[in-house]
Amino acid sequence: MTEPNVRSGPCRGVIFDMDGVLVDSEAFICRAACRMFGELGQTVQPEDFTPFIGTGENRYLGGVAEKYGLAVDIDQIKRRTYDIYLEIIQGELEPLPGVHDFIQKCRDLGKRLAVASSADRRKVVGNLNEIGLAPELFDAVIVGEDVEHKKPAPDIFLLAAEQLRLTPEQCLVVEDAVSGVAAAKAAGARCLALTTSFDQDALADADYFAADLSQAADEVLL
């Protein structure tokens, strides 16, 4: 663990990315996307999506479509991908280790809580409900449709802090993706990086590191 680069008083709010932090939905969305492209007559590979993890579904799907030279209606293919995704996660998607306990600890400490995900609201709400974390449990839920500029731009975390009525410097962002860590630091927040999707070297700009929320040290909430 490294000392945080920014400290402006105690941590008063925690902003969670979703995929790779609260849930590991990557395999499910990848399966859904592969199936969707198959319906279009295009065979794609799971590794085609790796460069676009954490950037939101528009780029996740659009980047692969560009790779194969496919002219697509992004809203249409995204809608179909979500149809498939929400079907295949039923009874299968589970929270990552430590999620419920960590959120309860945050609540016990009086932290304000937000989810800030580049995914669309349909996926975010579906995921949260599936793992037993109703969106209403959070003080704010920010999704990809709420901001023009996606990660690594800081916009989503700036908006989350604003909705929590905090400054970014008062917030801890929990992320797992390179673009997410960059966005958190650009916003001026301290960042806990979970090595669920990338190794620590790739996430080196974060302030803290843990394998998952069950391994996060108490100091990250100070």
- Compute the mean pLDDT over every residue in the chain, rounded to the nearest whole number: 94
Report pTM. Answer: 0.89
Phi, psi of 174 (to 5 degrees): -110, 120
Is there a single domain that holds both residue 73 and residue 103?
A: no
Asked whether residue 78 falls in the same domain as residue 122, the answer is no
Asked, for residue 4, whether it belongs to a domain, the answer is no
Q: What is the pLDDT of residues 116-173, one digit of tens each?
A: 998 889 999 999 999 999 999 999 999 999 999 999 999 999 999 999 999 999 999 9
Coil, helix or strand for 29?
Answer: helix
Contacts with 162 (C-beta within 8 Å, 6 or more apart), sequence order = none
Asked whether the predicted pLDDT for residue 6 surpasses 60, the reply is no
Please say which residue of 72, 88, 104 terminates a domain: 88
Q: Please report, for the domain that includes residue 129, its CATH number.
A: 3.40.50.1000
Q: Which of 76, 74, 80 is nearest to 34 (CA)?
A: 80
CA quadruple 63, 52, 26, 23: dihedral sign: negative
Q: Domain holding 55: CATH number?
A: 1.10.150
pLDDT of residue 7: 53
Q: Which of 17, 120, 176, 212 is catalytic?
A: 17
Q: What is the spatial distance between Cα 120 and Cα 145, in angstroms, rounded to a whole number?
A: 6
Give yes or no: residues 63 and 146 share one domain.
Answer: no
- Structural domain containing residue 82: 26-88
Is 146 in the active site?
A: no
98: Cβ contacts below 8 Å, ≥ 6 apart: 212, 213, 214, 215, 216
61 and 100, same structural domain?
no
| Tokens (6 digits) for 142 | 């920010």
| Whether 201 is catalytic | no
Residues 102 and 62 in one domain: no
Shared domain check, 55 and 18: no
**Residue 8: predicted pLDDT:** 59
Binning pLDDT at 50, 70 and 90, where does residue 14 land? very high
* Domain-located, residue 18: yes
**In the prediction, which pLDDT does 3 show?**
45
In tens, the pLDDT along 161-219 reads 999 999 999 999 999 999 999 999 999 999 999 999 899 999 999 999 999 999 999 99
Q: Domain total for the chain?
A: 2
